[in-house]
Structure 1
Amino acid sequence: MGFARSTTVPDFSWLQGLGGLFVKPARLQIAALCVRPGGTEPEVLLVSTRDSGRYILPKGWPEKDKPAWDTAVIEAYEEAGIVGEVDRRPIGSFRSYKGVSKGLKIRTKVLVYKVRFEKQLKEFPETGQRKCVWLPVSKAIEKVDEPALKRFLRRHKSDIL
């Protein structure tokens, strides 16, 4: 007596739908590349992160019901007290990671808008929470730790002023 063999191939197509649960799309952040004339070359503003003290551009999540360029102005003001004129077109973008809690990091895309410095206020929402430094572009490239931000500044060095 023989056993019947099944020629039916199991259907695992339902597994394909699960893949999307494990892949998170890049989150968008908006950054302000604050620039001003300097002695030998233009200067850019870097701010320290609140947790690790690394130097970055002022940045944050998009503001609801506001254009992205407006978010860049808001972040420059909140994190560094910068008032200035923003270009309404982004200068470019780079990939980054945002630390959220206890070592958890999420991948982000950072859209960068140039903000031409007019003045820096002494009091602003995050006064005392961050260090703010103005550096010539070449020195800023050396100061930042994040490889993608280094590449971004190098690539856009000639576009800065």
Structure 2
Amino acid sequence: MTLLARLASDVQLMFRRPPRQQYGALCYRLKKKTGELEMLLLTSRDTGRWVIPKGWPMAGKLSHEVAAREAFEEAGVRGTVETAALGAFSYAKMLKDGLKVGCRVQVFALEVTDLAKSFKERGVRTLEWVSCDEAVRRVNEPELRDLILVFQQRMANRAPLSNTKQTAPE
């Protein structure tokens, strides 16, 4: 490696920031007649890619509470949110000023029990209930795909995700 290339690499490392933290909800339901597991996906506002509800930390709210709040604001869903994270995934977020920043999303399962007719981002996003296999095909982030597959397997085995659940706030 040339001295100039090494210097450039060192400077990049010095200015690299750790990923920004976000919290997301893996929203799911079981069909009443068949018991089939469905995942809720929605489109992002900027690129239209398929994502899960997620957002930035909020003062005075625990991480799983933020995930539940984002699920309601972005998709109009309420339900029972797990207090223990399923896992996390990373992605690059494009900010309004055009800067790309790395984000790490801690993901919490949310069993949907209620669908609101009116919510903050209604009409801004497309929402779809899909099978886990379809969700894996639609999302871009490999770590999120892996989380969906792990969740699907847990649900197939009917193993409890966590001993503690909390009803999402209104």
Shift, 1:95, TM fit: 1.4
1:91-102 superposed matches below 5 A = 91-101=86-96
Superposed CA RMSD: 2.0
- Which residue of 1 is the match for residue 38 of structure 2? 43
Shift, 1:103, TM fit: 4.0
**Equivalent position to 2:74, from 55, 71, 79:** 79
TM-score (norm 1): 0.82
Shift, 1:151, TM fit: 2.5
Shift, 1:41, TM fit: 3.5
Superposed structure 1 runs of 4+ greater than 6 Å apart: none
Do the aligned residues in 2 keep the contact of 1:41 with 1:137 (CA within 8 Å)?
A: no
SS of aligned partner of 2:18: coil
TM-score (norm 2): 0.78
Structure index of larger Rg: 1
- Which residue of 2 is the match for residue 15 of structure 1? none
Shift, 1:155, TM fit: 3.1
Distance 2:93 2:154 in 1: 26
- Deviation sequence 1:3-33 (CA, Å, 0-9, x none): xxxxxxxxxxxxxxx8775020111100001
Alignment pair present for 1:24 and 2:10: no
Which amino acid in the other structure matches residue 25 of structure 2?
A: A
Distance 1:152 1:91 in 2: 7
- Which residue of 2 is the match for residue 111 of structure 1? 106
Taking only the aligned residue pairs, the percentage that are identical comes to 35
- Show structure 2 runs of 5+ residues with no match: 1-10, 159-170
Number of aligned residue pairs? 145
Do the aligned residues in 2 keep the contact of 1:32 with 1:75 (CA within 8 Å)?
A: yes
